[in-house]
Amino acid sequence: MNGLMMQLLTIIQLRIHPSITSPTSISTKLNSSAMDPSDQPEKRIRRRGAKARASEEEKPKPKPTEAPLKRKLDQVKNNPAPIPIAVNNQRKDAGKKKKKPKEKAPKEGEPGYLTPSQMRNARKRRAKQKKNVNEAEENADDADADTDQQSNNRKKKRVKANNDDPSSRYIGDPRSAPLVKKAKKYFGGMNIPFVSYVGELSGWRTVSKLPVRRANDKSCVIGLFKPKSHTIVQVPNCGAHHPSINNIIEILQREVDNYEITPYNELDGVGMLRYVCINVERCTGKVQLTLVWNASPYKDGDDGEGKEKLDTFTKYLVAKSDSIKLHSLWVHFNAQSKHADNIFDFGSATDGSRLWKHIHGPKEIVESLDLSQSTTNEVKLHFPPNVFRQANLDAFTKIVAEIRKYVMTYNASRAEKELPTCVELYGGVGTIGLNLCDLTSSFVSSDENPHNKLCFEKSAKLLSSENRKKCTYIPKNATDVIREAGVLSKNCEIIVVDPPRKGLDDYVSQSFIDADGPKLLVYVSCGFDAFMRDCDKLLKSGQWKLDKAEGHLLFPGSDAIETLAFFRRT
């Protein structure tokens, strides 16, 4: 041990006193340096000149039989580079923190992936949290798309993102959603100006279909599925939901347990209550509630645990209708044994009505879109639970208003005095078409849902006699309407389509290319990937050109965009 320490001291001393040549001179040199000023560091630096180098060259070289330590000392003298010493390295690294290996960032499509804009917005939000501000950072290019009123509303409402809630993932900056950016890039590549409109950030959802399942503690959970999964997420006081929806969810979760209603289990198909579907009457805040029941329709005289519990539970809800703000109550029978993948099983035209049972209250919610700035033709739309209704009617009103504005400009540019004819495909209950009928000479709407026709006719009967005579409804899908009814003849000038997420049927899009009559195509899309496919097909044909496009964020916070596009015949 003493020998090792002696060697270490020798090496250190040689770094300070290169002229020392033997271990025996170490102690002498150390003592003399403390007393003789000539041996201080500044003097030694001056002595390391020609004389010092000459004196060292005159010294005899070590013989091969000399000790290894002697050879090591000579290497130190002759090599100008310092010999690394472990002690010194430890001192240098002592104050440094070891760097943690960087985690790999998620790739696009993987959980947790953030685009560069999303990462930038996240940093901005963290900085503003100190001031308790969570206001969205608006995209400078799209800032002019919002009205002053909408901007004021966002300043008043501080909406926080909930990563577990798929409807509010991008609520801090709705335009940062991937599909919104994709749409802007797509239209930018065609030199088409593209603006995206954002309305209210909270309380906008007035239609919600929510799964009912069991929690780990066996209690009832009503929530949302995570994207691309059937993992349920409980969303109490969801910011997107109308307050009436949040209120009825809380009541139902409690009372389902109290009345021992069994939530549905997807693994074994057992359980009675599969979904609850809630529509809100905007003017009153009352809810139209539908219980999706895992059974075939009960017949009179049927007995059984399922029927007994359903009767008991619905009687309780009706008795509490005033306190829970119940507009109406329905039961939809959708048995798991039928392997129906959809929340609703519409059935056929003959047996579909058997699957729906009206228990209490009015059969429909009646809604009107506020288009008073451009028309006096008020349309009262009828919505029972078995037809499609936009979840954000306030924001959808802006889409209809933009369509009216464009059609009015189109009509003014026509040479003909008579108003154009119009055909609506995928029309639902006529939400768009009925609000355009005053701008047309004749109007035909169609949809495959057998329950739509009655709703359309109820709304049409409330129109003025002049407009009522223009309206016709065909309860068939878009392909059959074109094939059988020949609606795309030369007499059809305007086409309005609002297809489901899958976009236009192949036969339909090809018919638009082949037909000679239509001159204006109004396309409302909720599935952007399908829209790009259809748009590319129309433009590639050379028969149509894209005149205008804009985006509407009907579901702010989620990765979705509603596209409104106007095509003109070339």
pLDDT tens, position by position, 356-414: 999 999 999 999 999 999 888 899 999 999 999 999 999 999 999 999 999 999 999 99
Better pLDDT: 454 or 26: 454
For residues 423 and 495, the answer to whether their CB atoms sit within 8 Å is yes
> How confident is residue 485, by pLDDT bands cut at 50, 70 and 90?
confident
The CATH number of the domain covering residues in 205-360 = 2.40.50.1070
Question: What's the confidence (pLDDT) of residue 367?
Answer: 98
Counted residue by residue, the chain has a size of: 570
Q: What is the pLDDT of residues 163-203, one digit of tens each?
A: 567 778 899 999 999 999 999 999 999 999 999 999 999 99
| Phi, psi at 170, each rounded to 5° | -115, 25
Strands of 139-281 (E only): list them: 196-198, 207-214, 220-225, 232-234, 273-280
- Return the half-sphere exposure (C-beta side, CA atoms, 13 A cut-off) of residue 222: 28
246-250, 420-424, 514-518, 522-526: segment of lowest average pLDDT: 514-518
Encode pLDDT of 419-460 as tens digits: 999 999 999 999 999 999 999 999 999 999 999 999 999 999
Q: Is 233 left (phi over 0), alpha (psi -120 to 50) or beta?
A: beta
Residue 308: what residue type? E
The reply to whether CATH 3.40.50.150 applies to domain 367-378+390-569 is yes
Supply angle C-alpha 83, 86, 92, rounded to 5: 100
pLDDT of 118: 65
Exposure letters 133-142 (e unless 16+ CB within 10 A, then b): eebbebbeeb
Q: Which residues contact 215 (CB under 8 A, 6 or more apart)?
A: 221, 234
Q: What's the DSSP call for residue 482?
A: I
Nearest to 445 by CA among 398, 519, 511, 495: 495
pLDDT digits (tens, 9 = 90+) for 79-118: 554 444 444 444 444 445 555 555 566 666 566 666 776 6
- Residue 339 is predicted with a pLDDT of 53
**Confidence band (pLDDT; 50, 70, 90) for 28?**
very low
d(CA 39, CA 35): 8
Q: Which residues contact 405 (CB under 8 A, 6 or more apart)?
A: 374
Closest CA to 322 of 284, 273, 293: 284
The 3-state DSSP class for residue 396 equals helix
Q: Which residue has the higher pLDDT, 290 or 68?
A: 290
Rounded Cα–Cα distance for residues 241 and 503 (Å): 27
User: What confidence tier does 137 reach under pLDDT thresholds 50, 70, 90?
Assistant: very low
Q: What is the mean pLDDT of residues 145-157?
A: 44
Task: Decide: 240 and 167 in contact? Cβ < 8 Å.
Answer: yes
What pLDDT shows up at residue 426? Answer: 97
Check residue 167 and give its pLDDT.
Answer: 79
| 511 neighbors 532 (Cβ within 8 angstroms) | no
Give the predicted TM-score (pTM) of the model.
Answer: 0.71
- When the pLDDT of each residue in the chain is averaged and rounded to a whole number, the result is 81
Separation CA 20–CA 10 (nearest Å): 9
- Domain range annotation of the chain: 205-360, 367-378+390-569
- Do residues 482 and 507 make contact, with C-beta atoms less than 8 angstroms apart? yes
Please choose, from the candidates 464, 481, 479, 293, the residue with its C-alpha nearest in 3D space to the C-alpha of residue 379.
464
